[in-house]
Structure 1
Amino acid sequence: MDVRAYDKLMAMTPDGREKLFQTKNMLIHEEKVKQKMERVNEVRELKRIGLSNREISKRTGLNRKTVRRYLDENFNPVHASYGKKRNGKLTPYIKAIDEYLEKGMMGSYIVEKIREMGYEGSSSTVRDYIADWKKWRKKYYDRSKEDGTKTEIIRRENILKLLYHPIEKVKIISKKQFEMICKEYPFFEKIYRITWEFKSMLTNKNIDALDKWMERAKNLNIPEINSFINGVERDIEAVRNAIKYEYSNGLVEGCINKLKVIKRIMYGRCSFETLKNKILRLEKMKLFN
């Protein structure tokens, strides 16, 4: 926190600080309570000047039962359920979700499991809960450091780097930490191994290993990997050729990508002739530069 902000907060009264940190919903609730109290005071004033409950009800348009409640000295304008969290569709499955998260299960797997248990809510509700749970866990780990307990936190994005770069090039994660990750989350080790086996197959042009690799990958039963394998099977000959030969369509793809960028810049509003002239003019400018 900036020193000036800190000094400003310290100079404020407790009521002022409370008001500063109020949420929009809290302000709306406060305004509603204020309006209700004005109504309550109106009813009590009419009673003070001698009007009966029936007459007060006619003048204010309130039900006589409501008038009696407003006249009660112990009446509280704040609703009894205010601040209490209602049970939602996810509530019966919270304990199961916590257990799955403790085991390091993925969100998609958790959603699938609780749907089998009868959950009928949206997947986004589960994802939101998981995100909050992870934030709470981070705070717990931070507190454990203060207590003197040694806890290591490795960010998810750093773990994902291991799928794209060799462990030697991911300086932020040591080999010891990598071993701990694999021990704590066995499913990640399986993903790591199958990913690098595929990369090795491409690098070494080992086309004979493709069928066995696909079989091992399918046995993992991971939706994202299954989706990738389905794509490979749909265009199996092209994949075999990509492994077998040195040829690549990377240059063509680069040109196509450039063409798409130019087309997007034009918002797709111009004719093919205009697009052709623009590309040719750009290439001509490159030659002269």
Structure 2
Amino acid sequence: MRAYIHLKRSSPQSVGPRPPSPRAVAVWILRHPERLPEVEHLQLKAVLSRCPELNALTGHVRTFAHMLTHREGHQLPQWLRAVREDDLPSLHAFAAGLERDLDAVIAGLTLSWSSGVVEGRVNRIKMLKRQMFGRAGFDLLRKRALLASAEGD
């Protein structure tokens, strides 16, 4: 056995290039194709040619990103239909979540209104509340929130 293992360890093996990490492939898929460097574009093309499911997923992700960035929420029902036709369970779960409140999602993808400022304030208040470990009442929370907003402005 020792001689066999030694022979296998010492024999030259043709080691190909290391495959890209899943994180790198995800970054390549999520990045705008025009902003992807040529080397990464070729690597992504090679990965997608080996995996038809990943190729289909890339198409759906990029179509959704186009809807999101160009505010084309009216195309969401067609996108959901196309996702349902493919056999991509994880994307089906995402699509099902969108369908639960379809009107709100379409409005969010279409309208230019944003609640980001309000969400930021709510997150800051929740952080202050967590820092106090639930020991303080409303008056102290109010003072801390006002002081934090005065420092941030």
Q: CA deviation at 1:151?
A: 3.0
Q: 1:180-223, CA deviations, whole angstroms, 9 ceiling, x for partnerless residues?
A: 10111111111111011011112222233211100111122323
Deviation at 1:147, TM superposition (A): 2.6
> C-alpha root-mean-square deviation of aligned residues, in Å?
2.2
- Asked if the contact 2:67–2:73 (Cα under 8 Å) also holds between the matched residues in 1, the reply is yes
Structure 2 CA distance, aligned partners of 1:265 and 1:200?
39
Given the alignment of the two structures, is residue 159 of structure 1 paired with residue 16 of structure 2, yes or no?
no
Corresponding position: 1:285 with 2:139: no
Q: Larger RCO: Structure 1 or Structure 2 (Cα < 8 Å, ≥ 6 residues apart)?
A: 2
CA displacement 1:28-79 (0-9 Å, x = unmatched): xxxxxxxxxxxxxxxxxxxxxxxxxxxxxxxxxxxxxxxxxxxxxxxxxxxx
| Code of the aligned partner of 1:227 | A
Counterpart in the other structure of 1:261: 127
Q: CA deviation at 1:150?
A: 3.2
Instruction: After TM superposition, list the pairs within 5 Å mapping 1:1-289 onto structure 2.
Output: 147-171=13-37, 174-287=40-153
State the distance in 1 between where 2:26 and 2:149 align: 39
Contact 1:202 1:243 in 2 (8 A): yes
User: SS of the counterpart of 1:246?
Assistant: coil
Moved more, 168-177 or 244-253: 168-177
**Cα 1:174/1:283, change in 2 over 3 Å:** closer
Gap change, CA 1:259 and 1:172, over 3 Å in 2? farther
Q: Distance in 1 between matches of 2:91 and 2:152?
A: 42
On the 8 A contact 2:28/2:40 being kept in 1, the answer is no
So what's the TM-score if we normalise by structure 2?
A: 0.80
Structure 2 segments unaligned to the other structure (5+ residues):
1-8
Give the conservation status (yes or no) of the 8 Å contact 2:48–2:55. yes
Whole-Å Cα distance in 1 between the matches of residues 68 and 148 of structure 2? 36
Equivalent residue letter for 1:285: E
> When you count helix as a share of all residues, which structure comes out higher?
2
Q: Which sits farther off after the overlay, 233-242 or 215-224? A: 215-224
| Partner Cα distance (1:245, 1:273) in 2 | 37
- What corresponds to 2:5 in structure 1? none
1:163–1:192 CA contact under 8 A, matched in 2: yes
- 1:153 aligns to what SS in structure 2? coil
Q: CA deviation at 1:257?
A: 1.5
Q: Which amino acid aligns with 2:17?
A: T
Distance 2:82 2:117 in 1: 32
Name the CA distance, whole Å, in 2 between partners of 1:177 and 1:163.
Answer: 11
